[in-house]
Amino acid sequence: MSDVAHPGLAHHFESYEQQRQSASLGMWVFLAQEIMFFGGMFLAYMVYRSRYPLAFIAGSHHLDIGLGAFNTAVLIGSSLTMALGVRAAQLGRRKAVVLFLILTLILGSIFLVVKYFEYSEKWDHHLIPGKHFHFEGEGKFAEVPQGPMQIFFSLYFAMTGFHALHMIVGVILILYMLRPAWQGKYTPENHNYVEGFGLYWHFVDIVWIFLFPLLYLIGRH
């Protein structure tokens, strides 16, 4: 693999710079396909929101705007800590890298815990699509047909579910990076894992930046 003079330089690369550029381009190409993956669900959302506007408003009203906004803030905060973590790696500050990774981990976990509470509330209210689904509409939402309500909640669970799955993967990857970070393996010349993971984490944040208003803020006036 790499030789003693160039720790962490893979044998098929000629320089750290070539390796870094390849890693960066590779992660961006991966994110391009992630955009299309989530894009498919956003497309479904668009189709059905234009078809069933009232059902979407009814569903959105049921979601807890406070928790959604809180989670948005938490995730943006975790993007800040992650960006600072990458910066620390660029500057070779070993302990700062570990600190920021841990902060990102904590914030990401808080997000997931809140999500868990949101999901269990849906379960209690029979809002999991399928046989036992039943939406109790109040006021102007009393007559909303169950079918489109199921579609709203199907999209809610599919979109936030895949998002949460990506967060879980992210949290696991941070755990995996803590040891090499502590050992100082992420140097200014070669910290592609931290940089690449940072890109991934920011992408997951961006998905939520769109999910929050599209799911939680429909017709709130």
Partner 1 sequence: MSSAAATAEYPKKHYLNATQGILSWLLTKDHKRIAILYLVSVSAFFMLGGLMAMLVRLELLTPAGDLLGPDSYNRAFTMHGVLMVFFFLLPVVPAILGNFVLPIMIGAKDLAFPKINLLSWYLYMAGGSFTLYAMAQGGVDTGWTFYAPFSTTYSNSYVMATAIGVFINGFSSILTGLNFIVTVHRMRAPGMTWFRLPLFIWANYATSLVMILGTPVVAIAIALIGLERVVGLGIFDPARGGDPVLFQHLFWFYSHPAVYIMVLPAMGVISELMATFSRKSVFGYRLVAFSSIAIAVLGFLVWGHHMFVSGQSVYTSVVFSVLTMLVAIPSAIKVFNWSTTMYEGSVSYDTPMLYALGFLGLFTIGGLTGVMLATLGFDIHVHDTYFVVAHFHYVMVGGTVMAYLGGLHYWWPKMFGRMYPVFWSKISAMLVFVGFNLTFFPQFIVGYLGMPRRYWQYPDEFQIWNVLSTAGASVLGVGFLLPSFYLLWSLKYGKVAGPNPWGAVGLEWTTPSPPPTENFESIPVVEGGPYDYATGEKIFVLKGKEAHVV
Partner 2 sequence: MSVHVSSVKTYTLIFLALMVLTAITVFVAYLDLGALNNVVMLTIAVAKATLVVLFFMHVAHATKLIKLVVVSSMFWLLLMFAFTMSDYLTRGWLGVAGK
Binding footprint of partner 2 on the chain (CB under 8 A): 17, 20-21, 24-25, 28-29, 31-32, 35-36, 39-40, 42-43, 46-47, 50-51, 65, 69, 72-73, 76-77, 79-80, 82-84, 87, 90-91, 198-199, 202-203, 205-206, 209-210, 212-214, 217, 219-221
Q: Which does 130 bind (CB under 5 to 8 A by kind): partner 2, partner 1, none?
A: partner 1
18 makes contact with partner 1 (CB under 8 A)? yes
143 makes contact with partner 1 (CB under 8 A)? no
> What's the DSSP call for residue 129?
S
CA gap 34, 201 in Å, rounded: 12
Nearest to 107 by CA among 171, 153, 151, 166: 171
Binder to partner 1 among 7, 39, 184, 219 (CB under 8 A)?
39
State in angstroms the smallest separation of the CB of 83 from partner 2.
Answer: 5
CA gap 185, 178 in Å, rounded: 10
CA gap 164, 210 in Å, rounded: 14
Query: What is the 3-state secondary structure of 117-142?
Result: HHHHHHHHCCCCCCCCCCCCCCHHHC
60 makes contact with partner 1 (CB under 8 A)? no
2 makes contact with partner 1 (CB under 8 A)? no
Q: Are 187 and 93 in contact (CB under 8 A)?
A: no
Radius of gyration of the chain (CA): 21
CA gap 195, 20 in Å, rounded: 9
Interface residue list for partner 1 (CB under 8 A) = 10-12, 14, 18, 21-22, 25-26, 29-30, 32-34, 36-41, 43-44, 47-48, 51-52, 128-131, 133, 145-148, 150-151, 154-155, 157-158, 162
